[in-house]
Amino acid sequence: MDGKNTTVVTHFILLGLTENWELRLTLFLLFSITYLLILVGNILIMVTVVNDRHLHTPMYFFLGNLSFIDVCHASVTAPKMLADLLAEEKTISFAGCVAQLFFLHLCACAEIFLLTVMAYDRYVAICHPLQYPMVMSMKICIWLMAALWSGATVHSLVQTMLTVRLPYCGPNIIDSFFCDVPPVIKLACTDTYLTGVLIVSNSGMISVTCFLALLGSYLVILVSLRSRSAEGRHKALSTCSAHLAVVALFFGPCIFIYTRPAASFSLDKVVSVFYTVVTPVLNPMIYTLRNQEVKWAMRKLRKRQVFSRGK
């Protein structure tokens, strides 16, 4: 093969999660409920944060943006996965496949950066409370959001360009339920070793670097809490433990998938389901079940809606 893009593949065939019809029906029901919970839970958090002025703080501003990213992240793969669970032929066009992997990496990278920013926010709030209003003003928060989306876009463009520049002339069967870089580049009819290394280096570097930054932030926070009162430690640990749970649930699968060369692992599909569907539905539960302010704001919003209907 020469260096030119001699793509003749017009579509890909997805093998999906399983060929067993009964299991596919069960998974369709399970993931339909899960996707509905993702939409309802995360949209409820966004509406609550927007409508309650007491939640117009950097922490809840970032939480609302996390919910938005979770909705987008799940929506990249879940609708197609649900449709394919009921379909006999699970196909996706070449352009649709490229679009899916672009938006998948865009949302995943944005979430990685946002979780890192949220850790920095907690570090400033706990370790430098007097400087917090100046360091984490809403103007700075908006600039941070713009920066993380810009960075995520650059990352996703790099991943996508490294993938589409390869020639695809068959086979066109993807052993997954969605298009992602590792299973797609395996189908290129040329040597992909260097491309695989570049892709792993790009994704792996972002995942590992941000993960280490997160751990560093929370280690500093834990050390600083030794001199706090019992009540102050409890409040800080409650907030940080929720964030750490989300970090572990999201970074674990990402690091597992994107820090090694493309290969065929039966566990990959389970891990992919976890970070594309399961994590987005757990985030609202983790942040709301242990957060009294959010629960109080939701109750107030519900009462306001009830009273407005009564009028």
Residue 6 resides in a domain: no
Give per-residue pLDDT as tens, 201-248. 777 788 888 888 888 888 888 888 777 767 667 766 776 777 777 777
Give the whole-angstrom CA distance, residue 102 versus residue 111: 14
Domain hosting 215: range is 11-310
In a domain, 263, yes or no: yes
Question: Residue 279 sits in a domain of what CATH number?
Answer: 1.20.1070.10
* Residue 79 within any structural domain of the chain: yes
74 contacts 108 by C-beta, under 8 angstroms? no
In a domain, 5, yes or no: no
Q: Mean of the pLDDT values across residues 133-154? A: 94
What ranges in the chain are assigned the alpha helix state H? 21-51, 58-86, 94-127, 132-135, 138-164, 181-185, 193-224, 230-258, 267-273, 279-289, 292-310
Predicted pLDDT at 136: 92
* Whole-number pLDDT of residue 2: 46
Q: Is residue 3 part of a domain?
A: no
E strand or H helix that includes residue 173: strand 173-174
Percent of the chain scoring above 90 in pLDDT: 36
Domain membership of residue 189 (yes or no) is yes
Domain count, the chain: 1
pLDDT at 34 over 70: yes
* pLDDT value, residue 1: 42
Within-domain flag for 297: yes
What is the reported pLDDT for 84?
93
Reported as type and span, the H/E element at residue 169 is: none
Q: Is residue 239 part of a domain?
A: yes
